[in-house]
């Protein structure tokens, strides 16, 4: 089956790869195997976040990646820069130009650290709003002006920016990347999955996806997480809770067959208190498969990159090589 899919890959429209969203580049054996099996030629690597954490509240790089080994010659690097929306508030034209210059310099240095002489695409990730749109688009133009014409500039899109493009605007870039995850209300308590929701995709994309005026790549999720609520209020995503503990009935009480687990006792090591409610959100195979079918049905018929978020050995405990290749084959 693997060979059949691999042989047929040239006949359909998707070229597959992954996001790499960690602070150190040192992929393990499992992650390198996944790249090879999916036939990746490029890797989309988060270089840094940009946030207002400078001494005077200015925009500075945060959690920048370190390349502890170079990318192989067979794998091109697409740098990705995530910009917190708050950075864009009241950003003057001069500040847009300055920020663009500093980002290009920083990215160029990191690409060299990765063992590459250059890059053919730079992606900017930002969930801009109506109040920051003009500053963001001005910043993108400043970035574009500093790059060679041969280098593509791409920007991420959320679902609402596709449906509401008349108010959200269309970014001045060469390509877009539609993020088909984190589409629900993470902070809303109760039983739902904010990672992937087919009803949300239908509402925001069905009548709007094919009409979007720019070429579009797409990304699908592979991750899961534990969302914590305390006294009905969202408190965050627990990174210290081992999800295997959720099945321990001496620690958690589960609401029937739901994704909600209430703590019977405190778990100080995980930062959890007695009475906290944990909602376990997962990307299930049936949802991933249905999302791929939906996108294949409504997207324009053009070649594109299909990204999986993200390259991490833990996600491959839930998804096999054959399953990921089947998703690519849907297109």
Q: Could you tell me the sign of the dihedral formed by the alpha carbons of 106, 56, 52, 141, in that order?
A: negative
257 and 291 share one domain:
no
* Domains identified in the chain, total number: 2
262 and 128 share one domain:
no
> From residue 139, how far is each of 91, 142, 176, 312 by CA, in Å?
9, 5, 16, 32
Structural domain span for residue 16: 2-224+282-329
Distance CA 201, CA 178 (A): 11
Q: Residue 12 has what pLDDT?
A: 55
Count of beta carbons in the 10 Å neighbourhood of residue 131: 11
28 and 56 share one domain:
yes
268 and 311 share one domain:
no
178 and 143 share one domain:
yes
92 and 142 share one domain:
yes
184 and 196 share one domain:
yes
- Residue 138 parent element (H or E): helix 133-145
115 and 72 share one domain:
yes
CA 18 to chain CA mean position, Å? 9
76 and 192 share one domain:
yes
CB 107 within 8 A of CB 81: yes
Q: Residue 184 has what pLDDT?
A: 86
272 and 138 share one domain:
no
Going along 53-167, which residue ranges are E strands? 60-62, 66-67, 76-83, 121-125, 152-157
Pairing of strands 121-125, 152-157: parallel
196 and 272 share one domain:
no
209 and 246 share one domain:
no
Residue 175's domain is classified under what CATH number? 3.20.20.80
Question: 139-164 burial, b if ≥16 CB within 10 A, otherwise e?
Answer: bbbbbbebbeeeebbbbbbbbbbbbe
- pLDDT tens, the chain, 331 aa long: 334 344 344 445 899 999 999 999 999 999 999 999 999 999 999 999 999 988 888 899 999 999 999 999 999 999 999 999 999 998 999 999 999 999 999 999 999 999 999 999 999 999 999 999 999 999 999 999 999 999 999 999 999 999 999 999 999 999 999 999 999 899 999 999 999 999 999 999 999 999 999 999 999 999 999 999 999 999 999 999 999 999 999 999 998 889 999 999 999 999 999 999 999 999 999 999 999 999 999 998 899 999 999 999 999 999 999 999 999 999 9
């Amino acid at each position: 089956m693997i060979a059949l899919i691999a042989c047929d890959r040239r006949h359909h429209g998707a070229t597959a790869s992954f996001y790499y969203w960690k602070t150190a580049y040192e992929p393990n054996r499992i992650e390198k195997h996944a790249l090879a099996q999916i036939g990746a030629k490029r890797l989309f690597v988060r270089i840094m976040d940009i946030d207002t954490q400078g001494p005077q509240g200015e925009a500075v790089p945060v959690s920048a990646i370190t390349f502890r080994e170079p990318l192989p010659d067979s794998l091109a690097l697409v740098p990705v820069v995530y910009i917190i929306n708050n950075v864009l508030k009241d950003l003057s034209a001069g500040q847009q130009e300055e920020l663009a210059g500093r980002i290009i310099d920083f990215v160029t240095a990191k690409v060299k650290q990765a063992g590459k002489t250059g890059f053919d695409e730079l992606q900017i990730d930002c969930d801009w709003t109506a109040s920051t749109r003009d500053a963001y688009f001005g910043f993108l133009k400043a970035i574009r002006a500093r790059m060679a014409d041969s280098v593509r500039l791409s920007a991420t899109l959320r679902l609402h920016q596709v449906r509401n493009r008349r108010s959200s605007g269309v970014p001045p870039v060469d390509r877009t990347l539609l993020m088909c995850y984190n589409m629900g209300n993470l902070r809303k308590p109760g039983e739902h999955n904010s990672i992937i929701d087919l009803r949300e995709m239908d509402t925001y994309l069905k009548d709007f996806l094919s009409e979007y005026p720019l070429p579009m790549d797409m990304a699908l999720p592979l991750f899961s997480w534990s969302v914590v609520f305390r006294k009905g209020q969202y408190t965050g995503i627990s990174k210290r809770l081992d999800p295997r503990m959720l099945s321990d009935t001496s620690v958690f009480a589960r609401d029937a067959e739901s994704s909600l687990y209430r703590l019977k006792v405190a778990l100080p090591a995980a930062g959890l208190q007695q009475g906290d409610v944990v909602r376990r959100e997962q990307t299930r195979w049936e949802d991933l498969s249905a999302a791929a079918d939906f996108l294949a049905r409504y997207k324009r018929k053009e070649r594109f990159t299909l990204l999986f978020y993200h390259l991490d050995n833990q996600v491959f405990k839930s998804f096999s090589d054959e399953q990921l290749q089947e998703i690519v084959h849907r297109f």
